[in-house]
Amino acid sequence: MALKRVPIVLSCIGALLLCATPQKTIATESPPSATDSHEEVVFAKLITPAMASNYIGKSVVTEAFFLSTPTQMDLLPKKYQKGYVRLMVTVQVGNMPFQQVVVPADKADVLFTLKQSDKIKMKAVVEEWNLGEAVTATFGKIGLVVSEVTKADCDTPQKTIAKESPPSATDSHEEVVFAKLITPAMASNYIGKSVVTEAFFLSTPTQMDLLPKKYQKGYVRLMVTVQVGNMPFQQVVVPADKADVLFTLKQSDKIKMKAVVEEWNLGEAVTATFGKIGLVVSEVTKAE
C-alpha cells in the first residue's frame, strides 16, 4: 500500500515546486524616459542638423511654441504610430513648424487645453529616426520622444548654454554695409574677401540641401535681413562650433559677422531664388 502512495506524494511535491518557480514574463516596450540628468537645451539647437547630433540619445528639457496635434502617424517610426500623440511645434511664432515630436497618449491631455502659439516646456529624449530618403528630406532625422509636457511661463526666458565671445576683427577684414553684399552689382567686388558686416537675425533654417555640399554638414544655416521687415537673406553658414550664440538670439536682434564672401553656383533654380552670393562666417556676436 505504501508503494502505491509514492506517485501521489511525488506529484504533490512536483506541483509545489512548479508553483514556487517564478513564471517568466514577456517584456513590453516602453518609451524612453528622460531622467533627472536632463540638460536644458534651446529648441532651435535640437532641430538644426549640425547641432542636434550632439544630443542624440540624451535626455533634454526644452521650450517651444505649440501649433497643433497632426493626425498623420505613418510618417513616424512604427513603434510610435499607436499609443502616441504627434505634436507640431515651432522655435518662434511664424517660423517653420517641426512635427517629429511624439507624446505618450496618457501624458498628452495637456495638449488639448492649449491654444496655438502657447509656449510649452518638454522633457524628452532625442532620437535619430531613419524613415527613408523622402521623409528625411522633408522632416529630417531628429525625433523627440516626450515624457512630460507642460504649459510654460512665457515671461521666463529659457536658460542657454551658449557664451558670447567678441570678434577679434583684424586689419585684413573690411567693414562693409550688409546691403552691398546682397546686391549683385555691388557684391561682385567682395568675392573672395574677408569682411565685417552687421545684419538683423531672423532664424536658423534647417533645410541644408540648398547650400554647397561642403557646407551641408557641420554648419548652421543663418537667415538674416538688412532691416526688419525686408526680404530675408539665407545663404549664410556658420561652423557648428562657432554657432552657439545664434541660439541665444531673439528674432530681429542685430548681429555682427566676420565672414568670407563666396560665389556659389547651385544651378539656375536655386540661383534664381537665392542668388549666387554666400557668406561663410567665422565669428558672430550680438551687436551693440
Tell me the pLDDT tens digit for each residue of 59-107. 999 999 999 998 888 889 999 999 999 999 998 887 888 989 999 999 9
User: Which pLDDT band holds residue 54 (cuts at 50, 70, 90)?
Assistant: very high
User: Between residues 154 and 208, which one has the greater pLDDT?
Assistant: 208
User: Between residues 14 and 61, which one has the greater pLDDT?
Assistant: 61
Whether the pLDDT of residue 171 is over 50: the answer is no
End-to-end CA distance of the chain: 104
Whether the pLDDT of residue 212 is over 80: the answer is yes
* Rounded Cα gap, residues 209 and 219, in angstroms: 12
* Residue 258 grid coordinates: 566676420
Whether the pLDDT of residue 127 is over 60: the answer is yes
pTM for the model: 0.66
pLDDT of residue 107: 92
pLDDT of residue 99: 87
User: Between residues 150 and 154, which one has the greater pLDDT?
Assistant: 150
User: Which pLDDT band holds residue 237 (cuts at 50, 70, 90)?
Assistant: very high
Whether the pLDDT of residue 28 is over 60: the answer is no
User: Between residues 42 and 166, which one has the greater pLDDT?
Assistant: 42
Domain with CATH 2.40.50.140 in the chain: 39-151, 174-286
* Domain 174-286, architecture per CATH: Beta Barrel (2.40)
CATH of 39-151, one of 3.40.50.800, 2.40.50.140, 1.10.287.3510, 3.40.640.10: 2.40.50.140
Q: Could you give phi then psi for residue 259, rounded to 5 degrees?
A: -150, 165
